[in-house]
Amino acid sequence: MQLLKDRIIKDGNVKPGNVLKVDSFLNHQMDIELFNEIGKEFKRLFADLNITKILTIEASGIGIACIVAQYFNVPVVFAKKAQSINIDGEVYSTKIESFTHKKTYDVIVSKRFLNKDDRVLIIDDFLANGCALVGLIDLVVSAGASVEGIGIVIEKGFQSGGEIIREMGIRLESLAIVESMNAEDGTVVFREDAR
Ligand code: 5GP
């Protein structure tokens, strides 16, 4: 998606440790006009799927998922980071290691909001090593629902997540795939075939 790639070049910052900061338009301050274009693009890419629910994870996935959901006319459920102590039989739970915080979280979704008839589109801001997505997929599988597709705004193609998810046979669409980035000179190079 050219609009997104142009914005990453203009306003993204490459930080040491393979972190791309996009907090002026995606992760902290949010550019809703851009989010709308992202929503339209995911709708176009997944137009053939009969989605019943969008699933994301708190916190930074929520804003994007909400705007995307307006194009699919379905509810958004976000997986919550929880204290293990609060986990009871009323929730599906899994563990996710955070790439940015280097911490492992228990993540839950209430059984009331995900069930076996759901056809789920997972939406998230970034794909790095794939831990967040593997955890979200695990929650959907626990509910007996199906993962119809995954939409990612920025995939870091030099990390292993994209390969892991594609090898699982799940349809994954990333709007920008970063092939390489350099914290010293700030350059970001995109993969050719990415939208
Ligand atoms: P993964 O689980 O795929 O390793 O990491 C995905 C999660 O880590 C995303 O939900 C995102 O919040 C965060 N993340 C991973 N890499 C980056 C990055 O380069 N920049 C930012 N801002 N967040 C990232």
CA-CA distance, 155 to 162, in Å (whole number)?
Answer: 7
Q: Which atom of ligand 1 is nearest to the CA of 60?
A: 12
Q: How confident is the model at residue 85 (pLDDT cuts 50, 70, 90)?
A: low
Which of 9-13, 65-69, 85-89, 167-171 is the least confident region? 85-89
What is the chain's mean pLDDT, rounded?
A: 95
Reported as a single tens digit per residue, the pLDDT across 49-68 is 999 999 999 999 999 999 99
Instruction: Please tell me the distance between residue 65's alpha carbon and the centre of ligand 1 in angstroms.
Output: 15
Ligand 1 pocket check for 134: Cβ under 6 Å: no
Kind of pairing between the strands at 172-181 and 146-156:
parallel
Residue 106 pLDDT class (50, 70, 90 cuts): very high
- Residue 128 CB–ligand 1 contact under 6 Å: yes
Q: How many CB atoms lie within 10 A of CB 195?
A: 15
Radius of gyration (Cα) for the chain, nearest Å?
A: 16
User: Given the CA of residue 124, which atom of ligand 1 is nearest to it?
Assistant: 10
Is the C-beta atom of 104 inside 6 A of ligand 1? no
Q: Looking up tokens 């176009």, which residue turns up?
A: 44
Joined together, the tokens standing for residue 127 give 């794909």
**pLDDT for the residue numbered 149:** 98
Rounded to two decimals, what is the model's pTM?
A: 0.96
Q: What's residue 82's pLDDT?
A: 87
Q: Is 125 in the pocket of ligand 1 (CB under 6 A)?
A: yes
Are 80 and 96 within 8 A, CB to CB?
no
The answer, yes or no, to whether any atom of ligand 1 lies below 6 A from the CB of 126, is yes
Please name the residue that has the structure tokens 């997972």: 122
pLDDT of residue 195: 53
Ramachandran class of 2: left when φ > 0, alpha when ψ lies in -120 to 50, beta otherwise: alpha
Is 194 a residue whose pLDDT tops 60?
no
